[in-house]
């Protein structure tokens, strides 16, 4: 669908409805980090892994070729009049390049924190430099068509990216982070556009690489022993960037499913039997795909401030989700007395009662929703953790 920009006074973000497109995630995080008031148009766009990445980001039946891609931002006409180049690429065409869109966001809101492109000195533009370092630091020659589903793991010729390449890349990333010793981010003490640009790919990579090569410490980007600075960076993004933890971050289950799709295609074209991948069984622990966050409530309070459509706590946000989806939940859950059980869950979320135990049927409701909710499509990571917490 198209929204007439002349009718609104806010930017309009067109992004992937299923939260798989890494470029969309990057731009979404950029808007959220700066706490910009914008509208979202969710585009249902199934990915075909046999097509190139640009084809998967193209919107079919778009009214105009120039508006046929995601992600895309349509800026209010009052802002763009007389300054079209501020919103478009060098050929004066709307762009879907996420790096250029981050530049646009900052040019429209330069005073909004964080500063995406701080100058560490008159000569050093660290944020833009570190964005440009990504293809040189991370494994080379990986299949560009898999960058949203399973980046940096597979090559187009049916081979795996060598283990040594992963080790070298992670060591280089560790050294990059050591360069800016004043803080845990890619440019030091504050999050910048570099972090926003890197995190969509490294989020997937950190989940998926250990699934391809299990129980190998140097092939685990989140290993605090092997890559201490990288580990601190992940923690900083998850525990100190409210927009990421509360809205944009995906979960392990989503990235496992994406990896499974890519593995199926990779194994079909594998150069040799040795290049084929067999993934291990899914962990049995409930909620294994979630990242525990001890700062969840604090992060949510900061994130929800100024966003009146959100619940005031993670629990309230879950209650809103359950109420909005109550008819579908009661129809599909298979729990006798589902209405009463759902009311019990909502009551607990809204008012709390740590000393009481949920009934068996209420726990069944929590488990049913928890196993089906998609993070971040349905709920952000912090509210999703709150849902699981009430059943423990």
N-to-C CA span, the chain = 42
| 213 pLDDT more than 50 | yes
How far, in Å, CA of 359 to CA of 259, rounded? 36
**What per-residue confidence (pLDDT) applies to 49?**
75
In the block, tokens 């802002």 appear at 79
Residue that wins the pLDDT comparison between 370 and 288: 370
The H or E element spanning position 346 is helix 338-351
The per-residue pLDDT of the chain, averaged, comes to 89
Burial of 132-141, coded b for 16+ CB within 10 Å and e otherwise, reads ebbeebbbee
The candidate with the shortest Cα–Cα distance to 117, out of 127, 130, 109, 105, is 127
* pLDDT tens track for 241-277: 999 999 999 999 999 999 999 999 999 999 999 999 9
Question: What band does 157 get if pLDDT is binned at 50, 70 and 90?
Answer: very high
pLDDT band at 66 (very low <50, low <70, confident <90, very high): very low
Question: For 200-209, what is each residue's pLDDT tens digit?
Answer: 999 999 999 9
pLDDT-based confidence at residue 92 (cuts at 50, 70, 90):
very low
For CA atoms 230, 110, 245, 328, give the dihedral sign.
Answer: negative
Report pLDDT digits (tens) over 296-347.
999 999 999 999 999 999 999 999 999 999 999 999 999 999 999 999 999 9
3-class SS shares of the chain: helix, strand, coil, % to 5: 50, 5, 45
Tokens 């909620």 found at = 287
Residue 48 has a pLDDT of 72
Q: Is 120 exposed, middle or buried (0-12, 13-18, 19+ CB in 10 A)?
A: middle
Cα–Cα distance between 30 and 26 in angstroms, integer? 6
| CB burial string 239-265: b at 16+ within 10 A, e below | bbbbbbbbbbbbbbbbbbebbeebbeb
């Amino acid at each position: 669908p198209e929204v007439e920009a002349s009718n609104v006074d806010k930017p309009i973000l067109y992004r992937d409805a299923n939260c798989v497109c890494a470029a969309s995630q990057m731009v979404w995080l950029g808007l959220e980090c700066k706490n910009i008031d914008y509208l979202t148009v969710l585009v249902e766009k199934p990915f075909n892994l046999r097509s190139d990445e640009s084809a998967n980001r193209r919107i079919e039946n778009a009214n105009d070729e120039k508006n046929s891609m995601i992600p895309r931002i349509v800026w209010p006409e009052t802002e763009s009049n007389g300054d079209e180049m501020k919103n478009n690429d060098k050929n004066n065409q709307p762009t879907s390049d996420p790096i250029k869109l981050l530049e646009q966001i900052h040019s429209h809101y330069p005073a909004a924190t964080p500063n995406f492109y701080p100058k560490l000195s008159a000569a050093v533009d660290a944020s833009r430099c570190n964005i440009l370092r990504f293809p040189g630091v991370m494994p080379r020659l990986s299949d560009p068509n898999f960058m949203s589903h399973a980046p940096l793991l597979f090559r187009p010729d049916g081979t795996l990216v060598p283990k040594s390449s992963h080790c070298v890349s992670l060591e280089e990333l560790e050294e990059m982070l050591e360069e800016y010793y004043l803080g845990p981010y890619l440019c030091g003490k504050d999050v910048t556009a570099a972090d926003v640009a890197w995190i969509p790919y490294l989020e997937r990579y950190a989940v998926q690489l250990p699934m391809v090569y299990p129980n190998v410490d140097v092939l685990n980007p989140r290993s605090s022993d092997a890559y201490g600075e990288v580990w601190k960076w992940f923690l900083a993004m998850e525990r100190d960037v409210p927009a990421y933890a509360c809205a944009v971050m995906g979960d392990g289950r989503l990235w496992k499913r994406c990896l499974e799709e890519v593995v199926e295609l990779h194994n079909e074209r594998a150069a040799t039997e040795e290049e084929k991948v067999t993934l291990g069984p899914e962990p049995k622990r409930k909620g294994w795909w979630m990242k525990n966050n001890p700062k969840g409530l604090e992060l949510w309070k900061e994130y929800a401030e100024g966003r009146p459509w959100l619940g005031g706590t993670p629990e309230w946000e879950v209650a809103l989700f359950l109420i909005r989806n109550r008819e579908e939940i009661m129809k599909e859950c298979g729990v006798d007395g589902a209405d009463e059980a759902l009311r019990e869950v909502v009551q607990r979320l809204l008012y709390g009662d740590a000393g009481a135990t949920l009934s068996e049927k209420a726990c069944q409701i929590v488990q049913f929703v928890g196993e089906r909710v998609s993070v971040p499509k349905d709920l952000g990571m912090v509210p999703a953790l709150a849902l699981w917490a009430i059943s423990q």
